[in-house]
Amino acid sequence: MTLSRDTVVPGVLAEYRAFDELVRRLSGDSWSARTRCQGWKVADVAAHVIGQLTDVVNLRLEGLGSPEATARQVDERSGRAPVELADELATGTDTAAALVEAFGAPAWDAPIAGSTVQSLGFGLESLWFDTFLHADDIRAALGQRSEDVSGLAPSVSHIAQVLTDQGWEAATLSFDETPAFPVSGGGGRSIRGKAMPFVLVATGRADPAGLGLDGSVNIYR
């Protein structure tokens, strides 16, 4: 179950605006820095995040999230400067803000026509998670420590839902900075500690053994 509409809508819009500020400040050297996303430079990470929002607000939803769609988003923006992509993101964020206001509460749990996501709420929470995580990818590539914790709750919520859909073991994700989220109905073992190390492990960015887990926790396996 996703976080509430009152939490996700302002949260995802704020995340995109923060990503705009992050990208807009980048220089040529940092733009070409290698990231922990295999084969991607900082420019590619930004192109994916911004291209994904552009696809969403233009209702180009078929295949969204697939390797093919992601590669297209990056390829379409190859060679563009940080400020150009930031301007595209600013336009997309304004459009998204207008669109989500048009969707009332009943639409929150309803499937989106032409999309494979579970519901509008799940889709928006997924975008928040993805943008938050990729902002951290960029900061990590530049040797910057992220102090932002605003995206941890939607990230853990999203991961809990995906692990449930994948049939992972019953568990409860009980981290210091977030509410508790059940996996596969909850119960089972309780996974505790800080949320960000778990998010990195669950997305294939860190060794699961450090948290006493195995590779099955990687939602992208």
Structural domains of the chain ordered from first start? 5-141 (1.20.120.450), 152-217 (3.30.1050)
Question: What is the rounded distance in angstroms from the CA atom of residue 198 to the CA atom of residue 205?
Answer: 10
Q: Can you tell me the mean pLDDT for 95-124?
A: 79
pLDDT of residue 156: 98
Question: What is the rounded distance in angstroms from the CA atom of residue 95 to the CA atom of residue 57?
Answer: 7
Model confidence band, residue 100 (pLDDT cutoffs 50, 70, 90): confident
pLDDT of residue 148: 84
DSSP, res 27: -
- Tokens in use for 89? 């993101």
Which residues are CB-contacts of 76 (< 8 A; sequence separation ≥ 6)? 47, 51
Q: Can you tell me the mean pLDDT for 64-78?
A: 95
Matching residue, tokens 């860190």: 206
pLDDT of residue 75: 97
Which residues are CB-contacts of 120 (< 8 A; sequence separation ≥ 6)? 103, 107, 108, 109, 110, 112
106 three-state secondary structure: helix
Q: pLDDT by residue (tens digit) across 158-212? A: 999 999 999 999 999 999 999 999 999 999 999 999 999 999 999 999 999 999 9
201: left (phi over 0), alpha (psi -120 to 50) or beta: alpha
- Tokens in use for 21? 């500020």
Mean pLDDT score of the chain = 93
Q: Can you tell me the mean pLDDT for 150-163?
A: 97
Q: Can you tell me the mean pLDDT for 29-45?
A: 96
pLDDT of residue 117: 59
Matching residue, tokens 């941890």: 152
- Tokens in use for 117? 């996501």
pLDDT of residue 113: 61
